[in-house]
Amino acid sequence: MKLPQEVIRAKRDGETLDEATIAGFIAGLTDGGVTEGQAAAFAMAVYFRGLSLDERVALTRAMTESGTVLRWDLPGPVLDKHSTGGIGDAVSLVLAPMVAACGGYVPMISGRGLGHTGGTLDKLESIAGYDAMPGLDAFRRVVAETGCAIIGQTGDLAPADKRLYAIRDVTGTVESLDLITASILSKKLAAGLDGLVMDVKTGSGAFMGTLDAARALAESIVGVATGAGMRTVALITDMDAPLASAAGNAVEVAYAVDYLTGRKREPRFRAVTLALAAEMLVIGGLAADTAEATGRLEEALAAGRAAERFERMVVGLGGPSGFLEGSTALLPAAPVIRAVLPEQPGVVAGVATREIGLAVIGLGGGRSRPQDGIDHAVGFSGLVRPGDAVGAEAPLGMVHARDEGAADVAAAALRAAYRVGADAPEIADAILERVG
């Protein structure tokens, strides 16, 4: 095995690393032979120099094989969806039970907040008792009994990625196409999936800010995953505004509950969720085409079967029974909740979406360091979108804060994130492209 510093030096200088060298470095990352500083330097070298397709495949394979690779024996296809991250992206919370209600099995291994984006695990841990890090036996049981389980990476599944993921979050290397590809696919391959649907976001709230960058990532993921024998499709979706009207942890869980129970189903969130879930059903052979799949998914929502699967997942992973009915009382609430008015009336012409994510972190709803705790109660709700009218009676949103001072700072950040004008802007489609 080459010394870690020699591997870093080689990649820093633009050399191509062979499979054995990459495997040795990742083994050191797993067993502690590679320090945190060395891992950070490697990530930065990859960020600037990039990886070839062969290097990308080798890195993905090494990270997958750094721990347990699951095998399933279930009466339906094992499917998953993964998002590259955005603001107000609560899709996983509703999509997993929707697909489960249609006959799929969704063992979803999700992450915590990364950079300016929220993390599905942080959202679910807003639910008292929810065990986001169960053992593999409990994970298997809940998937088999419920059809879905959303958990974090245990020490058994792609442990090398778990360590590198936390380092990327705080070293400015989150956006690396190569590291994103390897991180996502190592977890998904370790989960033993039959098929995967990727949600690659682009726009002001996405890691891939341009359509070209999002397309490159989508093609990278589809290419590496398909080469590894896992059927994969990617949708490129718009993130030039928060997808849901909520951004935070408990506020997004409350939003998901409203969606599952039918109290609120916003059109854009619905469009993205149905498109991704429909692709999953088609990949899994549960529908002949996306039109049939969409009909099945909408029927599962209307009949309450998707909501019932979510409830069973929450209970199966340690959360309270009756959560859907009692979520308002069971979720943590911020002491200060108040409207954020625009500086002037008008129509929302644009949103600096990333700044909203950073404002959530400023409230305490995200992390600046891997070891930081978070405040699950804080964030924003009722966020408006481009084309919406705002004014004295129509706020930009509601801030949920721990105290008045934090609310003042967050309100100022939210105002700065919105551009208000006289005319409605042209609105991009929610689904921009399909790759695969």
- Three-state secondary structure of 377-422: CCEEECCCCCCCEEECCECCEEEEECCHHHHHHHHHHHHHHEEEEC
pLDDT at residue number 228: 80
pLDDT at residue number 157: 83
Q: Which among 320, 318, 348 has a CA at the least distance from the CA of 415? A: 348
% of the chain residues with pLDDT over 90: 83
The whole-angstrom separation of Cα 338 and Cα 124 is 24
pLDDT > 90? residue 229: no
Say if residue 289 is exposed, middle or buried (CB neighbours under 10 Å; 0-12, 13-18, 19+): exposed
- For residue 239, what are the CA distances in angstroms to 78, 243, 330, 413, 430? 28, 7, 30, 18, 8
Are 252 and 215 spatial neighbours (Cβ–Cβ below 8 Å)? no
Are 251 and 126 spatial neighbours (Cβ–Cβ below 8 Å)? no
DSSP for 336-349? EEEEE--SS-EEEE
123-137, 194-208, 342-356, 366-380: the lowest-pLDDT one: 366-380
For the segment 367-396, the average pLDDT, to the nearest whole number, is: 91
Annotated active-site residue 162? The verdict is: no
Among 21, 64, 66, 83, which one carries the catalytic annotation? Answer: 83
| Residues in CB range of 161: below 8 A, 6 or more apart | 63, 66, 153, 182, 183, 186, 187
Annotated active-site residue 80? The verdict is: yes
Per the model's pLDDT, the better-predicted residue between 229 and 334 turns out to be: 334
pLDDT > 80? residue 369: no
Among 61, 112, 123, 187, which one carries the catalytic annotation? Answer: 187
Among 11, 56, 61, 81, which one carries the catalytic annotation? Answer: 81
175 pLDDT tier (thresholds 50, 70, 90)? confident
Among 11, 56, 61, 82, which one carries the catalytic annotation? Answer: 82
203 backbone φψ class: left, alpha, beta (φ>0; ψ -120 to 50)? left
pLDDT at residue number 180: 86
Per the model's pLDDT, the better-predicted residue between 371 and 78 turns out to be: 78
pLDDT at residue number 84: 87
Annotated active-site residue 183? The verdict is: yes
370 pLDDT tier (thresholds 50, 70, 90)? low
Q: Which among 142, 145, 118 has a CA at the least distance from the CA of 132? A: 142
The whole-angstrom separation of Cα 137 and Cα 159 is 17
CB atoms within 10 A of CB 96: 31
pLDDT at residue number 166: 83
Annotated active-site residue 82? The verdict is: yes
pLDDT at residue number 265: 97
How confident is the model over 102-154, as pLDDT tens digits? 999 999 988 776 667 778 889 999 999 999 999 899 999 999 999 999 998 77
pLDDT > 90? residue 415: yes
275: its two tokens: 């498109």
pLDDT at residue number 114: 62
Annotated active-site residue 215? The verdict is: no
How confident is the model over 391-401, as pLDDT tens digits? 999 999 999 99
The answer, as to whether pTM is greater than 0.85, is: yes
325: its two tokens: 């009915």
Among 183, 202, 273, 353, which one carries the catalytic annotation? Answer: 183
Annotated active-site residue 264? The verdict is: no
Amino acid sitting at position 108: M
Annotated active-site residue 187? The verdict is: yes
Annotated active-site residue 83? The verdict is: yes
How confident is the model over 13-66, as pLDDT tens digits? 999 999 999 999 999 999 999 999 999 999 999 999 999 988 998 999 999 999
pLDDT at residue number 53: 87
Among 21, 120, 181, 381, which one carries the catalytic annotation? Answer: 120
| Domain 332-421 top-level CATH class | alpha beta
For the segment 250-272, the average pLDDT, to the nearest whole number, is: 97
Q: Thinking of the domain 4-50, which architecture would CATH place it in?
A: Up-down Bundle (1.20)
CB atoms within 10 A of CB 409: 15
pLDDT at residue number 116: 73
Residue spans per domain, the chain? 4-50, 79-328, 332-421
pLDDT at residue number 200: 95
Are 149 and 316 spatial neighbours (Cβ–Cβ below 8 Å)? yes
The whole-angstrom separation of Cα 430 and Cα 271 is 7
pLDDT > 80? residue 371: no
Among 56, 61, 188, 400, which one carries the catalytic annotation? Answer: 188
pLDDT > 90? residue 372: no
| Residues in CB range of 380: below 8 A, 6 or more apart | 246, 247, 248, 251, 340, 356, 359, 360, 397, 398, 399, 400, 410, 414
Tokens 């999936």 identify what position?
Answer: 193
pLDDT > 70? residue 419: yes
Among 56, 60, 61, 80, which one carries the catalytic annotation? Answer: 80
Among 168, 201, 296, 400, which one carries the catalytic annotation? Answer: 168
To the question of domain 79-328 being in CATH 3.40.190.10, the answer is no
The whole-angstrom separation of Cα 81 and Cα 276 is 7
